[in-house]
Amino acid sequence: MLAKRIIPCLDIKDGRTVKGVNFVDLRDAGDPVELGKLYSEKGADELVFLDITATHEKRKTLASLARQIAHNLNIPFTIGGGIRSVDDVGVLLDSGADKISINSAAVRNPALIDDLAKQFGSQFVVVAVDAKQVNGEWIVFLSGGRVQTEVRLLDWVKECQERGAGEILFTSMNHDGTKAGFANQALAQVSDALSIPVIASGGAGTMEHFYDTFTAGKADAGLAASIFHFREIEIADLKQYLHQRGIPVRLND
């Protein structure tokens, strides 16, 4: 069995790492490059950097960030935020990113997934999906969770895979920042429907939550932000806990 991955996520606004609850009430969590370097040293398997600030200089800002991160890290990292075209992705990969994440742009233009997979390979393409339960149905949202669509979660992730996505990053908006646990029932449904890896996001608060999402949720990776940023859980301790409970993880030498 492949090792389960632990992935700190750094949401970036105006060059700083921020964290909120249910996508709002953001607070500062530090310098993204310094935090990323720290996580790399502490045993994170990968990192995800998401620029949540809309700016006209988006491509230059992200490319500069990617270069700084690549210079300071020795683990794979994904970068996303405001990516809308093949050219945007080319600049980021050339700047040192290992993978890119697309979200709203993919929903608005699903053919973008095909184009990126064809141009760069599926292994570079992560489709991030923000979804929320609405009247008992999991529905996809856009623009940082501000815009509701009519797209159903399972329909969308299946289409993403068919179009060439290499990985799905599923964030439950209902659980984001609550520290009440991941959306494991929905995660299991997504995992069962796909053959590509699924990253669980939204709701991590305890070590047990990671165990639950790797077992009940069938996730391939667990992503979290505030519990790592504010040192509530240390990555090495989390991995030891999971290892002791029979979850395959990569342990530091």
Q: How far apart are CA 14 and CA 54, in angstroms?
A: 9
Report which residue type is found at 213: T
Task: Please tell me whether residue 153 adopts helix, strand or coil conformation.
Answer: helix
Torsion of CA 35, 39, 45, 48, to 10 degrees: -10
Q: Which residues of 114-146 are buried (b: 16+ CB within 10 A; e: fewer)?
A: ebbbeebebebbbbbbbbbeeeeebbbbbebbe
Q: How far apart are CA 54 and CA 13, in angstroms?
A: 9
Q: What sign for the dihedral angle of Cα 232, 236, 242, 245?
A: negative
Number of H helices and E strands in the chain, helices first, is 10, 12
Element housing 107 (H / E): helix 104-108
DSSP state of 102: E
Report which residue type is found at 110: P
Active-site residues, by number, are 11, 130
SS3 content of the chain, % helix, strand, coil (to 5): 40, 30, 35
